[in-house]
Amino acid sequence: MTAPQAILVPLALAATLASVRASAAASAADAASSFAPPHAAGALLSAHCLDCHGGGTTKGKLDLRPVLAAMDAGTLTAEQRSVLRHARVRVEAGEMPPPDEDDDAAGQDPASGDDPTGLDRRSMANALRAAVRTTGALPAPPGPAPRRLNRVEYANAVRDLLAIDIADLGTLPPDDVGAGFDNVASVLSLPPRALERHMDLAEAIAARACPDAVTPGATLADVHGDAMRVSAGKAGRGVALVWSRGTAETTVEVPARAHYEVTFTASGMQAGKEPVKVAVLVDGKAVANFDIPETAAAPGTRTCSAPIAAGTHTVAVEFLNDYFEKNGPGGKPADRNLAVHALSVRAPDAPPAPPAWQQRMASAVSGSPDEDAELRWLAARFLRRPATDGDLAVLRAAQAPVANAAHEARLRAALTALLVHPEFLFRAEPDPQPPQRERPLTDHEVATRLAGFLWCSVPDDALLRAAGEGRLTEPQALRAEVERMLTDARASRFADRFAPQWLAIDAIEDRSPNPAQYPGVDAALLGSMRAETVLFFDAVLRERRPARELLDADFTFIDARLAAHYGMPAPAGGGMRRTAVDPARGGGVLAHASVLLATSNPARTSPVKRGKWVLESILDSAPPPPPPGTPQLPDTAGTAASTRSMRELLAAHRADPSCAACHRRMDALGFALEGWDAVGRRRDRVAGAPVDDRGELPDGRSVAGLDALRRELAGNPDALRSLVRHLLTFATGRECGAAEDDHVDRLLESLGSAPTLHDVVIAVAESPAMRTRGSR
């Protein structure tokens, strides 16, 4: 363990322990809020729900009597309002009260809003909405536990701070997922093995960010041919003899990124009409090509300039045009080969420019009398707040072992310490101090939350400057910063991380559809499927299109592979291209192969999975887990190998009362997508029979096919509520619970009925839940 590691390990472990303790802390109770008179809702609940959820019966372990008492007293808690919101969703869906409760009222029109129970569902839903509507200030929701940068955020932060891509330096362990996202604090621990990996990675990053100074004109490598490695040929007698398409190569340690001079001496065993042809390679990539007409009697020397980054590299000379003729001139064999006599790598005559981040630092601290100016500048960016005397003491201690070394070595020590500093690895926000139940976040805490939300990274200099000037607590200045961040290229990371996790397609590249049934669905095509969804989400956001276009749009993105998969004409040009949707398919995420594949089994579609996905991702109304011991449908269900159709199997499943309540709605939504196979292609027949994509919802309405499902969901206000709740979870790193539901209601009221996706993201970024912190 190095000295910087020895100093920082206790600090990082302390942060880990603090995170664990914080995650285990009990949540504080929410203060009750005033609300609209609930008398209508209370009367309806008493009349239609208490038989099953009160008195001597509490089906589903739900007793509504305390909720009704609190409604009468005007003391509903956030948890009780969440119960009523859930009841409203079940009432509107026709699931509760069960339609078969009153057999005497059969025959009413479901479209009227009434059902066989004699209940006017619209009136009851509106009454429940009124009952949960709050007025006045809302208590701040509890803040998340200290939240570690996940591995994507860590890589983005290093790229943004130091312009270093860590991909070739190694990987961090995979992150767990909580509430559908990999940036939720409760699953982002730092076990000792992961901490060790962070330590190693920190040293590698610091070494690349702060290379040793390059001595102008220094020779970094100078080898004779017989000391080189030969891939096809042999080395000896002072040369590397190369035949076929072989190489002669050597390894060189490069201290800093610069253009280095590569010189080699070579000759050819000439044959045929062409001279020997070679390429100079750096790490397998050609940087120059030469003809070598010289022979061993008078070898020739060639020189080229090659851009090489700091680190260990392979420099090689590759033989390009092997030639052999058995009966050459004079009847003798003609054999063309390459001989490399020597190779050298020399530093440039002028020292290379420092890395861009060092240039920015030098400009910022130029003329400062503070001997710690560089450390202050670094600490402010890595810790996302002004540096304190304690921070400087830690960094000086990390530098102490190299206090007399070169400037680059001291910078490396400081960077290593910062990269494993608890406040770099974790986003930590102190809880309010008693007796306060909540506190406004500081400007720097707001900046950190915004950068994590919209860039999946850390604040840039402009955002830190706004925080330092106290402008992020001013509504107009906050709006200006959020708008700036959304127009930045880094906002594409938000689309890349939020959309796939919200829609449960993030791991689609790891899926393996049955190759016998779906040949040609390989990793490249799966990647194109994911890219379609990400680019589509990004376009709806950046172009300020209505949020409902996520479900129903007239455009999408495809490449040649995905076009062939969809049966569409290939777009002009390479890569993913914007195009009008196929009218037979329609637009929006419901029609994306990524979603249709991710909600299927490897060998067949799954109406249950697809219906469950609609409820979870689009309507935020996830069904409860199935009862223990519930049998799974076989992989052959609904195929030619099955004696019963999928519809028959699921009908038998719904005959079980313990399954019917959830499956009536879930199966109907899933059946509407049966016109699309397990990899998202249109189909007309299943197991030799015509596709039956009709589904009957619990309230009696029919949903037949993708178009009908698209209309059903695009017109459902719960789709917008679901989007807001998922965004708030992603933004705050805390699963939305009862405390957040009241804030979601306020956001929805402010957004109106037809907001753009841009409006929704702005509203979440500026919401009180993002600017205040309650006690945990």
pLDDT average, residue stretch 450-465: 98
Tokens (6 digits) for 720: 């917008």
Given a cut of 70, whether residue 633 has pLDDT beyond it is: no
Asked if residues 626 and 658 have their Cβ atoms less than 8 Å apart, the reply is no
Report the pLDDT value the prediction gives residue 225, as an integer from 0 to 100.
Answer: 97
Element (H, E) at 312: strand 311-319
Question: Residue 256 class from Cβ within 10 Å (0-12 exposed, 13-18 middle, 19+ buried)?
Answer: buried
Tokens (6 digits) for 532: 């379609």
Given a cut of 50, whether residue 267 has pLDDT beyond it is: yes
Given a cut of 90, whether residue 460 has pLDDT beyond it is: yes
Return the DSSP state at 489.
Answer: G
pLDDT band at 39 (very low <50, low <70, confident <90, very high): low
Residue range 491-525, pLDDT digits in tens: 999 999 999 999 999 999 999 999 999 999 999 99
Residue range 469-482, pLDDT digits in tens: 999 999 999 999 99
Given a cut of 60, whether residue 129 has pLDDT beyond it is: yes
Asked if residues 496 and 531 have their Cβ atoms less than 8 Å apart, the reply is no
Report the pLDDT value the prediction gives residue 629, as an integer from 0 to 100.
Answer: 67
Asked if residues 421 and 8 have their Cβ atoms less than 8 Å apart, the reply is yes
Of the listed ranges 6-10, 295-299, 770-774, the one predicted with least confidence: 6-10
Top pLDDT among 689 and 342 is at 342
Element (H, E) at 566: helix 560-566
Report the pLDDT value the prediction gives residue 22, as an integer from 0 to 100.
Answer: 39
pLDDT average, residue stretch 664-687: 93
Q: Where are the beta strands (DSSP E) in 446-498?
A: none
List the Cα angle 134/70/435 in 5-degree steps.
65
Given a cut of 90, whether residue 735 has pLDDT beyond it is: yes
Where residue 421 falls (left for φ over 0; alpha for ψ -120 to 50; beta otherwise) is beta
Residue 541 CA, chain-centre distance (Å), reads 16
Q: Which of 730, 693, 590, 581 shows the shortest CA–CA distance to 185?
A: 730
How far is residue 696's CA from residue 704's CA, in Å, rounded to a whole number? 8
CA distance to 453, 454, 565, 735, 770, per residue, from 766 (Å): 11, 12, 41, 18, 7
Report the pLDDT value the prediction gives residue 686, as an integer from 0 to 100.
Answer: 87
pLDDT band at 62 (very low <50, low <70, confident <90, very high): confident
Of the listed ranges 151-155, 212-216, 415-419, the one predicted with least confidence: 212-216
pLDDT more than 90, % of the chain: 68
pLDDT band at 663 (very low <50, low <70, confident <90, very high): confident
**What rounded mean pLDDT belongs to the chain?**
88
Given a cut of 90, whether residue 543 has pLDDT beyond it is: yes
Report the pLDDT value the prediction gives residue 99, as an integer from 0 to 100.
Answer: 63
Given a cut of 80, whether residue 226 has pLDDT beyond it is: yes
pLDDT band at 109 (very low <50, low <70, confident <90, very high): very low
pLDDT average, residue stretch 463-474: 97
Report the pLDDT value the prediction gives residue 18, as an integer from 0 to 100.
Answer: 41
Report the pLDDT value the prediction gives residue 33, as an integer from 0 to 100.
Answer: 33
Report the pLDDT value the prediction gives residue 12, as an integer from 0 to 100.
Answer: 42
Among 60-69, 500-509, 653-662, name the most confident range: 500-509
Top pLDDT among 109 and 247 is at 247
pLDDT band at 401 (very low <50, low <70, confident <90, very high): very high
Is omega for the bond preceding 275 within 30 degrees of 0, making it cis? no
Report the pLDDT value the prediction gives residue 521, as an integer from 0 to 100.
Answer: 96
Given a cut of 70, whether residue 107 has pLDDT beyond it is: no
Report the pLDDT value the prediction gives residue 652, as an integer from 0 to 100.
Answer: 63
Report the pLDDT value the prediction gives residue 638, as an integer from 0 to 100.
Answer: 56
pLDDT average, residue stretch 719-736: 96
Given a cut of 70, whether residue 340 has pLDDT beyond it is: yes
CA distance to 263, 274, 284, 304, per residue, from 301 (Å): 7, 18, 21, 11
pLDDT average, residue stretch 533-555: 98
Report the pLDDT value the prediction gives residue 619, as an integer from 0 to 100.
Answer: 94
Amino acid at 162: L
Given a cut of 50, whether residue 141 has pLDDT beyond it is: yes
Q: Cα-flanking dihedrals φ and ψ of residue 484, to 5°? A: -60, -45
pLDDT band at 32 (very low <50, low <70, confident <90, very high): very low
Spell out the residues 6+ positions from residue 629 whose beta carbon is closer than 8 angstroms to its own.
none
Of the listed ranges 351-365, 575-589, 635-649, the one predicted with least confidence: 635-649
How far is residue 452's CA from residue 472's CA, in Å, rounded to a whole number? 15
pLDDT band at 91 (very low <50, low <70, confident <90, very high): confident
pLDDT average, residue stretch 249-259: 92
Quote helix, strand, coil % in the chain, to nearest 5. 45, 15, 35
Question: Residue 81 class from Cβ within 10 Å (0-12 exposed, 13-18 middle, 19+ buried)?
Answer: buried
Residue 505 CA, chain-centre distance (Å), reads 10
pLDDT average, residue stretch 562-585: 95
Top pLDDT among 351 and 110 is at 351
Given a cut of 60, whether residue 631 has pLDDT beyond it is: yes
Of the listed ranges 31-35, 501-505, 632-636, the one predicted with least confidence: 31-35
Given a cut of 50, whether residue 258 has pLDDT beyond it is: yes
